[in-house]
A and B are shown apart, each in its own frame.
Chain A
Amino acid sequence: MAPRLTTAGLALCGASVLGAVSTAVATDPTSLAAAAGRSAWMIPGGLSLGALACLVVGLRFARPGPIMAALALLGAAWLLGPGSSTWRSLTALAGGWLLAVAEMAYWSLDFQAAGTNSRSVYVRRAATTAGLVGSSVVLSLVPELNLFAAPTVGVELTVAGLLAVAALIAVAAALAWRLRSEEGSTDASADLKRSTS
């Protein structure tokens, strides 16, 4: 099977599984969707179906916008679906799963250009994706497992969250600036030295 189809199929399967789980556990009376009454499962179910539709459109027409929308809808379905603490404790895994779906979908977009790739390209990319998903899940488990004794509600938490967001933005900006300054200092033509014969 073509790599583009394979990765697209994996992304769709992953999204289906996440959507199905979100819908199945939405019947829990403690879930946010339970406010809708007996048809609580319809909210995450609809969101999941919408996410699948967006994903199909994005993959079919190679557009990144619908893929992002699909990921957001899947995330919303998970937030509204599980109610019990058992399922909520798996949010870190769900986040990792969502990242894996996103990686597969965007990887599929990267295969738009025809041509052949060596096997090492796939192996390397798959290993990198696996490492990224694994490490992000581990990092997500830190707040999930309450390793730090922090208040669960209150102004302190909000302030801490805002500070964390500001710190993240600063780190991202610093990294992006490093890249920008590298680009400015490097002559583009010097990178690609020509030697025709």
Chain B
Amino acid sequence: MTLTASPKLGGYAALGAAGLLVALVSGLPEAAVLGLPFIVAVLAGLALVERPNLRASVEVDRDRLLEGEDVHVAVTVRSTTDVPWLQIAWHVPQGLAARGGRYILGVRLAAERSAVLETDLSTARWGVLPLPNPLLRAHDRLGFFRFEGSIDLNRTLRIYPRPETLRRALSPAETQMFSGNELSRVRGDGIEFADVRPYVAGDRPRRINWRLSARSGQLHVNEMHPERNADVVIFLDLFSDVRSGGQGTLDFAVRAAASLASYYLARRDRVGIIGFGGALRWLKPDMGSTQIYRIVDTLIDSEVLLTYNWRGIEIIPPRTLPPKSLVVALTPMMDDRTVDALLDLRARGFDLAVVEIMAEPFTVQRPSDAARLAHRIWQLERTATRLRYRRLGVPIAQWRLGEPLAGPLAREREFGRQNRWLRV
């Protein structure tokens, strides 16, 4: 622990010395008498100071939690010496808020006794947060010295985004080979009726439509749509994050990505993720319960990285962007690189849907005419970009602040129903 002398020590020594000096110079013994208590205090402080011997431990009840959940932290300090005033301080990191308990505690710690500082921290936003080191400050008896140190905690909290429960999301245009919950466009074995056709040798008798066969005098069989799984790639725009008041577009994008991943993985679809930004990151599509953990672990590390050395979408391996996969893009549409990359994907024939996280609620409009004009031009440019997507048959829906994710997804489904002819 680091030893620090209080300014009081120097002040008292100076006052005592001044008293003696004045007494010697001016012949006033009262000056020495006035300064004597300060000299006594300094000498007593130097004689009585004792280095504390502290042992500290920190308990964190869990290090993985969902947004909005609380974590309980307890710092226990034990001393082998008597500490007249021990302060245990806990710096609440940004992104956490002290909900209960105390985060600075001052106690008198008797020898072989322990003191506990308990704090409940509530989480407001997903992310990986290193827990700060608790600080200890021990004062000596007379307040002349401070012994300060910190407990090297080296722990991080992994706060996962809380997924929204979705009853329906977007249906992919094409399905894959494995069985799943998505109704395939092709015909085969399944339970959903598709059509009837004349019987050919090799058809299973149980597929014969007896009513139609009796009426037409020729054997007909029913055709079915099989249930297949789909490949879904969640495209996260990490080029921009419009923030205001502790919230930002990236917060909503990550929550939406977690919700979509949970929804599609529950339907036995293969889900992958692409983080497109200053650092291009991807996760190969896969199915199963472990994939959701991989995805959320990738998501909570998401951040906007400003760099000129960014890489385009073309370097992503083909297995990460499989053919016939549905690409759901989550973007505030603030960066042209993302807009171009998505149009590139559409040109390559991917089934693309864009959820635009509205940046307007996070922007501050200045009252001047020039600012109003600039804001209007900016909005017109965004409208033009939306029209570009729609002309290419890409459903794009705006996700407004406070609206459930199901809202924009429903609007995109409606767009898909009305514009089936646009699909390539």
Residue positions of A touching B, CB distance < 8 A: 64-65, 67-68, 71-72, 75, 78-79, 88, 91-92, 94-96, 98-99, 102-103, 106-107, 109-110, 113-118, 120-121, 124-125, 128, 132-133, 135-137, 139-140, 143-144, 152-153, 158, 161-162, 164-165, 168, 171-172, 175-176, 178-179, 182-183, 186, 188, 191-197
Contacts and interface: CB of A to CB of B under 8 A. Distances in A.
B387 interface: no
B9 to A, nearest CB: 9
6 closest residue pairs by CB, A with B: A115-B104, A117-B106, A175-B46, A136-B37, A64-B7, A99-B37
B59 interface: yes
11 contacts: A113-B89, A115-B87, A117-B105, A121-B85, A139-B36, A140-B37, A140-B40, A172-B42, A188-B149, A194-B57, A195-B56
Contact of A193 (B30, B52, B56, B104): B56
A67 B11 contact: yes
A180 to B, nearest CB: 9
Contact of B106 (A102, A116, A168): A116
Contacts of A99: 37-38, 41
Interface string B23-43: 110011111111111111111
Contacts of B31: 75, 79
B37 A196 contact: no
Contacts of A194: 56-57, 151-153
A172 B34 contact: no
Contacts of B418: none
B124 to A, nearest CB: 21
B20 A161 contact: yes
B46 A115 contact: no
Given A113-B89, A132-B44, A188 B2 contact: yes
A176 B46 contact: yes
A96 B15 contact: no
Given A172-B43, A179-B145, 20 more contacts: A72-B15, A79-B31, A95-B33, A99-B37, A109-B7, A113-B87, A115-B103, A116-B105, A117-B85, A118-B107, A124-B84, A125-B143, A139-B37, A144-B33, A165-B24, A182-B51, A183-B3, A192-B150, A196-B57, A196-B58
Interface in B130-159: 136, 139, 141-143, 145, 149-155
A108 B154 CA distance: 34
A154 to B, nearest CB: 10
A92 to B, nearest CB: 6
Given A140-B36, A161-B20, A197-B57, A115 B89 contact: yes
Contacts of A176: 46
Nearest to B50: A182
B14 to A, nearest CB: 7
Contacts of A140: 33, 36-37, 40
A158 B51 contact: no
B56 to A, nearest CB: 6
A179 B46 contact: yes
A128 B144 CA distance: 12
A129 B145 CA distance: 15
A21 to B, nearest CB: 14
A118 B106 contact: yes
Nearest to B16: A168
A71 B143 contact: no
Contact of B40 (A79, A136, A195): A136
Interface extent on B, as a size class? 35 or more
Contacts of B149: 188, 191-192
B276 interface: no
Interface of B: 1-3, 6-8, 11-20, 22-24, 27-44, 46-47, 49, 51-59, 84-85, 87, 89, 102-108, 136, 139, 141-143, 145, 149-155
A120 B11 contact: no
A137 B33 CA distance: 9
A22 to B, nearest CB: 11
Contacts of B59: 196-197
Contact of A175 (B6, B43, B107): B43
Contacts of B12: 102
B262 to A, nearest CB: 32
A94 B19 CA distance: 13
A179 B24 CA distance: 30
B37 A110 contact: no
Nearest to A146: B29
Contacts of B85: 117, 121, 124-125
A193 B102 CA distance: 23
A161 B13 contact: no
B3 A179 contact: yes
Contact of A172 (B29, B46, B102): B46
Contact of B39 (A103, A118, A168): A168
Contact of A71 (B15, B30, B104): B15
Given A95-B33, A125-B143, A188 B1 contact: yes
B106 A115 contact: yes
A71 B11 contact: yes
Contact of A192 (B13, B46, B56, B104): B56
B107 A121 contact: yes
A110 B143 contact: yes
B62 to A, nearest CB: 12
A183 B18 CA distance: 29
Most B C-beta atoms less than 10 A away, residue of A95, A107, A124, A182 = A95
Contact of A75 (B15, B46, B52, B153): B15
A36 to B, nearest CB: 17
